[in-house]
Homo-oligomer: A and B are copies of this chain.
Amino acid sequence: MSDAAAAVDLDFGESGRIPAVAQDADSGEILMLAYVTPEAVERTRETGRAHYYSRSREELWEKGATSGHVQHVEEIRVDCDGDAIVYRVDQEGGACHTGYESCFYRTIDGETVGEQVFDPDAVYE
């Protein structure tokens, strides 16, 4: 991770935020999708830990600040239009507040395909 200015321009558009996909850097599994502002990307680059912007709480948040399930960001990738990014991460614990490793633990037909890796009742009080 570099704390220098990004070389690739991001296009945050009118909303001021773009989607960020967190992907396990080793397995390639897609862990979650959330949103980032310029400040969230900057904080991620500065700290090496994934930061996002909560649309409902309207605030910057660090993934794992409450649960301890932080994401160590090995690389940030940018798409061709500069309006979506990927955080390639080393995930502590699980990414999903339900206890699953990935938030995408179900198919659209309702089948569970993901793995539960922690007990949410023991992590979130």
Interface residues of A (CB under 8 A from B): 2, 4, 6-8, 10, 19, 21, 23, 27-30, 32-33, 41, 45, 75-81, 84-86, 96-98, 100, 103-110, 113
Contact = CB atoms under 8 A, between A and B. Distances in A.
Given A76-B108, A77-B113, 19 more contacts: A2-B109, A4-B109, A6-B108, A6-B109, A8-B107, A10-B108, A19-B19, A19-B33, A21-B30, A23-B28, A32-B79, A33-B79, A75-B113, A76-B107, A77-B108, A80-B97, A80-B103, A80-B105, A84-B103
B107 A80 contact: no
Contacts of A32: 79
A81 B95 CA distance: 13
A4 to B, nearest CB: 8
Contacts of A30: 21, 23, 30, 77, 86
B78 A106 contact: yes
A35 to B, nearest CB: 9
